[in-house]
Structure 1
């Protein structure tokens, strides 16, 4: 698959199963994340990989955060199962770095680009995945449970594995509907 085909055919898949990426494939995925645009080469991100029992640990932290945040009982009960929806979950964190030149917003954009690069690298290797957000990403308690600082943010949960069903046809979208010229 060439780079343009990859960019033009990538899509998210929520229905995931084993196998997920092995150690060598995960290494490629993580290396792709380290190649994103990153002014001043700050590498303002961290990747928390949860696979195997790590997914259960992540689910327990999500449940603890849900309780501490006073979320609905449904969310509290569902939280430990959330990371089990894929064989591999990568929590992508924007780790703030002190810089007089690179605003915090730019650093968070770089971390967001890292999520996309990882999903593309997984897709290129034949895996499926989805970049999830939801309440855990915006929760006030989960970052502390993950050891994050005050300016650090979770920018996404990348769920990776093998698709359990075929991808739906890609819709045709006209770029003109989203473009204007000056």
Structure 2
């Protein structure tokens, strides 16, 4: 079995709450992100971009997202409010993966989104290969236009996911996976 196949068979997410320092250093992060953007890209549109959230900026982002959430949902109190307030504080680095949809392109929107999703997955896979932990999260903030404005997104852009990166602080067991036999069929005419 090749190392690449073994890597695919072992990759799993590490919950953001269980990620701590260190995050990849700048050189490692640059190499990881350069590799992550090597995705199938019909029409060479590059329908994605990345936004890093770290240190104090990450904390400020979380506070502003919480404020937006409270305005949009005044009933958000207690544990839900605290969850929102701390969502971006656990992992030392968060990468917002952003889809940039070109509505005038011959390339269908779904293919542009899938291309962006591949970037997000490559970050997860690359982080695991490098010995880091990562989790792809969305939540309401990924779909909120006020949060999009906070990130400086254009009207044709939206968050596909927030990738939380860091070093696992505990051993995380793999979850149960579906069996291939339950998912695979062969089409015949």
The answer (yes or no) to whether the contact 1:55–1:84 under 8 Å persists in 2 is: yes
Superposition TM-score, scaled by structure 2 size:
0.87
Largest Rg, 1 or 2: 2
Q: Could you tell me how far apart the structure 1 residues matched to 2:71 and 2:151 are?
A: 14
1:86 alignment counterpart: 91
Aligned residue for 1:153, secondary structure, equals strand
Change in Cα spacing, 1:33 to 1:99, as seen in structure 2 (3 Å) is: farther
Q: Could you tell me how far apart the structure 1 residues matched to 2:47 and 2:167 are?
A: 29
Q: Could you tell me how far apart the structure 2 residues matched to 1:169 and 1:11 are?
A: 6
Aligned residue for 1:158, secondary structure, equals strand
1:66 alignment counterpart: 69
1:109 alignment counterpart: 114
The answer (yes or no) to whether the contact 1:6–1:124 under 8 Å persists in 2 is: yes
1:5 alignment counterpart: 6
Cα displacement string for residues 4-25 of structure 1 (whole angstroms, at most 9, x for unaligned residues): 1111100001111111111011
**Displacement of 1:170:** 5.4
The farther-off stretch of 81-90 and 139-148 is 139-148
The answer (yes or no) to whether the contact 2:102–2:156 under 8 Å persists in 1 is: no
Unaligned ranges ≥5, structure 2: none
- Equivalenced residue count is 182
Indicate yes or no: 2:160 matched with 1:155. yes
**Displacement of 1:168:** 0.8
Aligned residue for 2:30, secondary structure, equals helix
Q: Could you tell me how far apart the structure 2 residues matched to 1:69 and 1:104 are?
A: 28
Structural RMSD (CA): 1.9
Could you tell me which of 35, 40, 50 is aligned with 1:37?
40
